[in-house]
Amino acid sequence: MGLILAQLLTGLANAGALFMVASGLSLIFGVTRIVNFAHGSFYMLGAYVGYSFMQVLPGAVGFWGAILLAGLAVGLIGALVEILVLRPVYSAPELFQLVATFGVILVVQDLALMIWGPTDLLGPRAPGLGSIVRIMGEPVPQYDLALIAITPFVALGLWYLITRTRVGVLVRAATQDREMVGALGVNQRWLFTGTFFLGCALAGLGGALQLPKGGADLLMDFTILAQVFVVVVIGGMGSLPGALLASILISVLNVFGVTFLPQSTLVLMYLVMVAVLMWRPFGLLGREEVAGELGQVGEPEEPIAPAGRAVQALTALGLAALASLPLWGGNFAIVLATDILIFCLFAASLHFLLGQGGLVSFGHAAFFGGGAYVAALSVKYADTPMELALLLAPLGAGIAAIAIGYVALRATGVYFAMLTLAFGQLLWSLVFQWGEVTGGDDGIVGVWPASWASGNGVFFYLAFTFSVGGILLLRHAAHAPFGYALRAARDAHARAEATGLATHRLQWAAFAFAGMLAGLAGGLFVFSKGSVFPNELEIARSFDALIVVFLGGVKTLSGGWVGGAVFKGLEDTLTRFEYWRLALGLTIIAVVILAPEGIVGGLRKLARRLGLVRAADAPARQKEPAE
Amino acid sequence: MMTPILEARHLSRHFGAIRAVDDVSFALAPGELLAIIGPNGAGKSTCFNMLMGQLRPTHGTVHLDGTDITHWPTRRIWRAGVGRTFQITATYPSMRVIENVQMALLSHHGRAFSIIPRARGLYRDDAMVLLETVGMADQAGRHAAILAYGDLKRLELAIALAHDPKLLLMDEPTAGMAPRERTDLMRLVAGIVRDRGTAVLFTEHDMDVVFTHAHRIMVLNRGQLIAEGDADAIRADPRVQEVYLGGGTLAL
């Protein structure tokens, strides 16, 4: 009994910080419709900044003052980020802003590394609250009790702000109908900035408050981000009471999980999330999202056309040059090119789903990593030859996509995205925690290609064939009736249904198709590396693909692989430097601001301005413009 | 009387306490051009959505050619030969004009899932014929997203005609069009009714259009059918005058 009570108290104490971060994310999403990937970074900053303040401010007043100051400082940093990074891209497709916030994650990671160094910082104890209390014989840290006492005040304060003040009225109004609020003369710019300040301040506060419990380290951002997404989705996007409820649920669940089912805590959390979303697709207290964001906001997409002669010739030339690489390139170049090719196939598969289907998946790594693990496991346990494993990888990933798509496609817009994220994380946690079979964190090693393909040159040709083949297949599918029907379902759902198109089945098929090709990329990946680790299934990997798709350009046909090649090439070049994340993050932010239509979209615009290609609607229609 | 092409029996749709459509029954003969009129909020669009399977009726049934289609999904009703246009035009803005029509033809021929051929070459000639029918052939290669509203309406009509429907549901086909365009479009629709024997059910706010072209008119008010008959009968009906002019004479 005492143990259970103590567990419950620990869970409630943990819920505090989680709630603050989650409510901030929820507020920001509600008002600005931005899913702030960087929210975990603000939490991490809160911890670091709070730590620094505590070093200089003395005593109890200093401790609590440092926490408040940390919240304030992080709020200001958040507002600054909003002004500098997000304001220039509000006119771009909404989800494009995700890419910008991803750039912020990278920048913050390296800045934190520069300022506070790589070692984990041990949080100072709260003055006067450093010991433990015995409750029914069980030790409970005093600070936990303090957190349990503080959280309701924060929640109440927030509730008061939102329901009883003019600012709150604006925030609630904007959450319900942003355009209307703008039409009524509210200055949206400052409303957005203010919301960012508040949301980030909450995250910073959460980060600083948990210092005595968890300290500060450089992995905090992604660790909390995954949890916060779970909380916000279970509670309902944009709902504060939902965030509170879900924070408590998840924290308590985690604490009990650690005690009673240490092997499956993570799995448990994501299972709960999937279960809740299957029961209530918009979260416990969330509302249905009107008008799903499909990555299509902004100028309408241009009609697609097969490449013209010139582009075909150029492509053939480029492919021939690439194919001749093993003849003149060094070993390093060959391995790098193999990496890039495989990544391009992965990115192109997500690009198909997102660009043609309007289906924004946050969990595409499930199929890349899934394919990789299918291949690796079949080699490890059944001595499957490489040729067969490369067939099983897309097959397994395709089956997984059919299963996941069945559930996820019941929702639309951001909830669809969150469901795919949940399933991706579920798969990741399964692999991570089911160590006896998957090797857990140690991964599966020694998965080498068949002897005929073991040379780097030969394997390059293998990857070249499958990746280029896969990308061409995706491209062909976009030109085929299937691709047209998918765009029809995306463009005008009611019209598509009223002309006989089974939109749901079309999207499901596209999900499976994209999953299969991601699985193929995963299979190639395992054999190129000889090993696979759970991080191939992680959120970060899904985000990589997502970033790349937007970076390349959603409303173009080649955005996926172009973005993939640029991103991977850039990453591989930059990782040689110490602060490569900073450079990559800044590059991403720069691209987002300078070319909101992505690299391909931006180049197309430039080429048009220079008169190199004709606009899609030019009077002469004999020659179709290449994209 | 021969079997009506479309028959609604006691059709009702309630939203909470609001009876958007309340016990409406009517029938439509093949080749008939039937108009539903009524003030805003009378239940016209709700009625339409129930006929096309986009909204489930609270009570009542819909029969197409004698078959009960009340609970069929929209696309099955379409396959059974019903086309529709929307009050706010629904076309595919990412495609060219001709591709919009080709898409409907692809669906009609059951090839939506095909990944073998390229779509742009398929059913091009058929699509051109349809575009000629609605007078849009010269704009076939244009980007649908930049069309003028009247052209979009005509494009939508071409899409709705792609599978040669026996029944066409048109929700405010001329809304947002210039007067000249309205006359042209309705003349076009009347021609289709004459030539192909297609039955057309349409809602409309423009009384000129209604009285000139409709064979028969139904008046909805607050979800209820309050009058039905030809143009003269409707003009003379005191309840209709009441609804439209609050008791004065209907200057039509």
- The pLDDT score that the predictor gives to residue A297 is 53
Listed in sequence order, the residues at least 6 apart from B87 whose beta carbon sits closer than 8 Å to its beta carbon are B45, B171, B172, B175, B203
Q: What is the SS3 assignment for B20?
A: strand
Of B75, B142, B163, the CB nearest to A617: B142
Q: Which residues of B183-207 are buried (b: 16+ CB within 10 A; e: fewer)?
A: bbbbebbbebbeeeebbbbbbbebb
In chain B, residues 4-43 whose CB comes closer than 8 Å to chain A: none
Q: Supply the pLDDT for residue B9.
A: 93
Domain ranges of chain A: 2-257, 318-609
**Nearest residue on chain A to B120, judged by CA atoms?**
A479
Nearest to A303 among B91, B116, B143 (CB): B143
Percent of chain B with pLDDT over 90: 52
Q: What is the pLDDT of residues B140-162, one digit of tens each?
A: 999 998 898 889 999 999 999 99
3 state DSSP class of B35 = strand
Is A318-609 a CATH 1.10.3470 domain? yes
Tens digit of pLDDT for each residue in A226-255? 889 889 888 988 788 999 999 999 999 888
Cα–Cα distance measured from residue A570 to residue A592, given in angstroms and rounded to the nearest whole number: 15
Q: Which of A133-142, B88-97, B112-121 has the lowest mean pLDDT?
A: A133-142
For residue A352, give the nearest of A557, A502, A553, A97 by alpha carbon. Answer: A557
Query: Can you give the pLDDT at residue B252?
Result: 44
> What is the 8-class DSSP label of residue A86?
I
Residue B250: is its pLDDT beyond 50?
no
* Token digits of residue B194: 């004459």
Share of chain A above pLDDT 90, in %: 41
The mean pLDDT of A188-202, rounded to a whole number, is: 91
Kindly report the backbone phi and psi dihedral angles of residue A426, in degrees, each rounded to the nearest multiple of 5, phi listed first. -60, -45
- From the number of C-beta atoms within 10 Å of its C-beta (0-12, 13-18, 19+), residue A572 rates as middle
CA dist A248 to A12, A18, A245, A254, A459, Å?
6, 8, 5, 10, 50
Mean pLDDT in residue range A268-296? 72
Residue A283, number of CB atoms within 10 A of its CB: 26
Provide the domain count of chain B. Answer: 2
The pLDDT tens digits for B167-222 are 999 998 888 888 888 888 888 999 988 888 899 999 988 888 888 889 999 999 88
CB contact under 8 A, A497 and B73: yes
Point out the domain boundary residue: B104, B132, B164: B164
By DSSP bridging, strand B216-221 and strand B224-229 are: antiparallel
Taking the C-alpha atoms of residue A91 and residue A591, their distance in angstroms, rounded to an integer, is 15
Same domain, yes or no: B105 and B152? yes
pLDDT exceeds cutoff 70 at A23: yes
Whether pLDDT at A93 is above 60:
yes
The whole-angstrom distance between B200's CA and the closest CA on chain A is 16
Q: Do B77 and B191 belong together in one domain?
A: yes
Check whether B122 has a pLDDT greater than 90.
Answer: yes
Decide: helix, strand or coil at residue B239: helix
Under the banding of pLDDT at 50, 70 and 90, the label for residue B248 is very low
Contacts of A501 in chain B (CB under 8 A): 75, 107, 112
Residue B3, phi then psi, degrees to nearest 5:
-60, 130
Are residue B249 and residue B185 in the same domain, yes or no?
Answer: yes
**pLDDT bracket for residue A293 (50, 70, 90):** very low
Which residues constitute the domain of residue B193? Answer: 1-81+166-252
Are the C-beta atoms of A235 and A242 separated by less than 8 Å? yes
B75 with B172, same domain? yes
Q: Under an 8 A CB cutoff, do A481 and B117 touch?
A: yes
Label the pairing between strands B59-64 and B6-15: antiparallel
- Predicted confidence (pLDDT) per residue in A430-477, tens digit: 998 888 888 888 899 888 888 888 888 899 999 999 999 999 999 999
How high is the pLDDT of residue A419? 84
Distance from CA of B77 to the nearest CA of A (A): 8
Nearest to A171 by CA among A315, A26, A42: A26
Matching residue, tokens 């009906």 = B237
Whether A176 shows a pLDDT value over 80: the answer reads no
Residue finishing a domain among B120, B139, B164: B164
Do both B58 and B116 map to the same domain?
no
- Region A549-565: what's the mean pLDDT? 87
- Residue B207: inside a domain, yes or no? yes
Q: Check residue B139 and give its pLDDT.
A: 93
A300 — pLDDT class (breaks 50, 70, 90): low
Contacts of B72 in chain A (CB under 8 A): none
User: Which CATH architecture group holds A2-257?
Assistant: Orthogonal Bundle (1.10)
Q: What is the mean pLDDT of residues B231-237?
A: 87
A303 pLDDT band, cuts 50/70/90, is confident
From CA A47, how far away is CA B232, in angstroms rounded?
Answer: 80
Topology alike, domains A2-257 and A318-609: yes
Q: Are residues B62 and B104 in the same domain?
A: no
Q: In this predicted model, what pLDDT tens digit does every residue of A105-155 receive, in sequence order?
A: 999 999 999 999 999 998 888 888 778 888 887 888 888 899 999 999 999
Flag whether B87 is in a domain.
no
pLDDT at residue A618 in the model: 43
**Tell me: the pLDDT tens digits for B4-58?**
899 999 999 998 888 899 999 999 999 899 999 988 888 888 998 999 998 999 9
pLDDT at A514 over 90: yes
Question: How far is it, in rounded angstroms, from Cα A366 to Cα A461?
Answer: 26
* B170 lies in the same domain as B250: yes
Q: What is the pLDDT of residue A615?
A: 60
Under 8 Å CB pairs connecting chains A and B tally to: 126
- Across the interface, of B94, B112, B141, the residue whose CB is closest to A491 is B94
Helices and strands (H, E) in chain B, number of each type: 9, 10
Mean residue pLDDT of chain A comes to: 87
Let me know: does A489 contact A503? Beta carbons within 8 Å. yes
So what's the pLDDT on residue A292?
44
**What is the structure's pLDDT at A453?**
84
Side chain identity at residue B35, one-letter code? A
Return the CATH number at B186.
3.40.50.300
Handedness of CA A274, A279, A285, A291 (dihedral sign): positive
CA atoms in the 13 A half-sphere facing the CB of B150: 11
Mean pLDDT value across residues A398-415 = 89
Q: Which residues of A348-377 are buried (b: 16+ CB within 10 A; e: fewer)?
A: bbbbbbbbbbbbbbbbbbbbbbbbbbbbbb
In this structure, the answer to whether residues B64 and B96 fall within a common structural domain is: no
Cβ distance A35 to A24 under 8 Å?
A: no
Q: Which of A158-172, A340-354, B198-212, B233-247 has the highest mean pLDDT?
A: A340-354
- C-alpha A316, offset from chain centre: 34
Cα–Cα distance measured from residue A210 to residue A416, given in angstroms and rounded to the nearest whole number: 32
Provide the pLDDT for residue A616.
Answer: 53
If one counts every other C-beta atom within 10 angstroms of the C-beta of residue A160, the result is 11
pLDDT band at A298 (very low <50, low <70, confident <90, very high): low
Indicate whether B1 pLDDT > 70.
Answer: no
Output the CA–CA distances (angstroms, integers) from residue A418 to A234, B36, B156, in the order listed. Answer: 10, 44, 35
pLDDT reported for residue A597:
82
Residues B196 and B131 in one domain: no
Give residues 294 to 313 of A whose Cβ lies within 8 Å of B.
300-303, 305-306
Residue matched to tokens 């097969």: A306
Any domain includes B152:
yes
Instruction: Please state whether beta strands B67-68 and B82-85 pair in parallel, antiparallel, or not at all (unpaired).
Output: unpaired
pLDDT at B245: 65
DSSP collapsed to 3 states, A341-376: HHHHHHHHHHHHHHHHCCCCCCCCHHHHHHHHHHHH
* Most confident among A165-179, A282-296, B64-78 (mean pLDDT): B64-78
* Cα distance between residue B211 and residue B230, in whole Å: 8
Which of these three, B164, B186, B207, is where a domain ends?
Answer: B164
In chain B the first and final C-alpha atoms are separated, in Å, by 32
B60: confidence class by pLDDT, cuts 50, 70, 90: very high
Contact at 8 Å (CB) between A132 and A142? yes
Across the beta sheet with B6-15, the strand order is B18-28, B6-15, B59-64, B67-68
Q: Do B213 and B179 have their domain in common?
A: yes
pLDDT (0 to 100) of residue A625: 40
pLDDT at position A299 = 64
A contacts of B115 (beta carbons < 8 Å): 476-477, 480-483
| Residue B155 and residue B175 in one domain | no
Give tens-digit pLDDT for A49-71.
999 999 998 888 889 999 999 99
pLDDT for the residue numbered A504: 94
Minimum-distance CB partner of B118 among A306, A494, A499: A306
